[in-house]
A = this chain, B = another copy of it.
Amino acid sequence: MTERLVVVGGDAAGMSAASQARRRRPADDLEIVAFERGRHVSYSACGIPYWIAGDTGGPDALIARTAAEHRDRGIDVRLGTEVTRIDRDAGRVLARDPDGREEWTGYDHLVIATGAVPVRPRIPGIDAPGVFGVQTLDDGEAVLRGLDRAGVRRAVVVGGGYIGVEMAEAMLRHGLDVTLVDRNPQPMTTLDPDMGHLVREALEGLGVTVVSGAAAREVLTDSEGRARAVATDDAEHPADLVVLGLGVRPNTDLAHDAGLPLGTHGGLLTDRSMRVRGTERIWAGGDCVEVLNLVSRALQHIALGTHANKHGRIIGTNVGGGYATFPGVVGTAVSKVCDVEIARTGLKESQARAAGLDFVSAVIESTSRAGYYPQAAPMTVKVLAERGTGRLLGLQIVGREGAAKRVDIGAVALTAGMTVGQMVDLDLGYAPPFSPVWDPVLVAARKAADAVAADTARTAPGAGEVRKPG
């Protein structure tokens, strides 16, 4: 008998699940219906800042596969159609089509891939014209239209995380004066403050005014109601255009209403096969779920296309009669602002502490290539290693060309549970155009290994202290 797979949300996780299920089960065995409330499926939200910056075409270039292409593969994609209710008892969802008609659709398997929604602070003026998010292709087009207006020369970007710094670059590339308003002491709080400080220096070097430790309190508007400035406690930052880059939170209202289990970060909870906990035929993946961090052993919410694609593929394999699981993440992320590359994996100091892990850290400076080779670019690498065991806990890199993807060395080492001492012995690729004879990651690992040894010697019973007789 033909089964039906219903997918809620037509981006990376949802459409990967649908495609993979279709590869494994033909249309006469599995009917697939995918509901997407927006106008597009399978697009790269991560590409939007680069489209706005002018690096890439858009929006078509960012669409990996159109609705028509999915339909050609036997997936019934319903654009502009929002699922408003899940009836778990009856195994059906209620969807509202573009004309406002509501209809129930039954499912044998349900995939919840509702993604994330941008964090939007509830401050006065936040909905004024001239204030933009950067989540959907429509958002991207709106920002570009905003940039086309006459007299636009000042942008305020609110938020200093990945989207914030990427959008700061995009605004710079349009020749605007850019102010980054961020409530944290340093931008890029996915890094430790000392490494975030390097990002701040880089942003300032590019001409961005970085206002740290200052939360946006209000978007001030002009007589026509358009945004004209962002107010913090101390100052007003004039803006012809305001971009919100405050990160995202899981879009799980629908799931919550259906009584599905959410974690402390608001994301759906799944087992390793990406099945929603406590259910038999409901799956979830992508930006709406929480994932296990393999280093801290804690659940996290990480919105990243690469995880969403993996989740979708795993769900599709399982719905398709195969077997696949998602072991978790180590928290890898890379980004750039102009030619400054930023990368991190594992835990930063505060995350390690929160996980009950004590650590030593090491920071080194090196170069991307042999020092004598042209374009050898400086790079700062920070390593966190567990006290005593020397197990790698985290790696952070700020540098230029050739810096960021070195974080993959740490990602694999974390997955394998390596110590920094073991990392020193790694047989990494060496030739003068690619690396100094000691790769910067090895130099950092070596310094961390020395720090672990010194710490062990210093804190061993009897080392440097007088022990009372027993």
> In the complex the two chains form, what is the Cα distance from A418 to B418 in whole Å?
12
Contact of A416 among B162, B370, B418, B428 (CB under 8 A): B418
Distance, CA A341 to CA B433, complexed state (A): 10
Taking a contact as CB atoms under 8 Å apart, the answer to whether B408 and A47 are in contact is no
Partner of A434, one of B44, B327, B334, B439: B334
A437 to B162, CA, bound (A): 16
Q: Beyond A326-B425, A426-B412, A437-B309, is A50–B373 a contact (Cβ under 8 Å)? A: yes
**A224 surroundings in chain B (CB, below 8 A):** none
Q: A426 — which chain B residues lie within 8 A by C-beta? A: 408, 411-412, 415
Give Cα distance in the complex from A431 to B165, angstroms: 13
Bound state CA distance, A305 and B406, in angstroms?
20
Q: Which one of B47, B61, B405, B438 lies within 8 Å of A435 (CB-CB)?
A: B405
Bound together, the chains give a CA A408 to CA B438 distance in angstroms of 13
Q: How far is the CA of A405 from the CA of B434 in the complex (A)?
A: 7
Compute how far the CA of A463 lies from the CA of B438 in the bound complex, rounded to whole angstroms: 50
A278 on interface, CB distance cutoff 8 Å: no
- Please give, as numbers and ranges, the residues of chain B lying within 8 Å of A330 by CB-CB distance: 427
Number of interface residues of A (CB under 8 A): 63
Known A305-B437, A412-B416, A413-B412; judge A47-B370 contact (CB<8 A): yes
> With the chains together, A433 CA to B402 CA distance in Å?
12
A333 surroundings in chain B (CB, below 8 A): 429-431
* Residue A264 is within 8 A (CB to CB) of chain B in the complex: no
The answer for the CA separation of A467 and B130 in the assembled complex, in Å, is 74
Q: How far is the CA of A309 from the CA of B429 in the complex (A)?
A: 14
Given A47-B372, A412-B416, residue A304 in contact with residue B430 (CB < 8 A): yes
The verdict on A336 contacting chain B, using a C-beta distance below 8 Å, is yes
CB-based contact B437/A55 at 8 Å: no
Q: Is the CB of A438 within 8 A of B309?
A: yes
A142 CB–B CB distance under 8 Å: no
What are 10 A-B contacts with C-beta separation under 8 Å? A47-B372, A306-B430, A329-B427, A330-B427, A334-B429, A334-B430, A334-B434, A335-B431, A404-B434, A411-B429
Taking Cβ atoms with an 8 Å cutoff, the residues of A that contact B are 12, 44, 46-47, 50, 55-57, 61-62, 162, 304-307, 309-310, 326-327, 329-336, 341, 343, 345, 370, 372-374, 402, 404-409, 411-413, 415-416, 418, 422, 424-435, 437-439
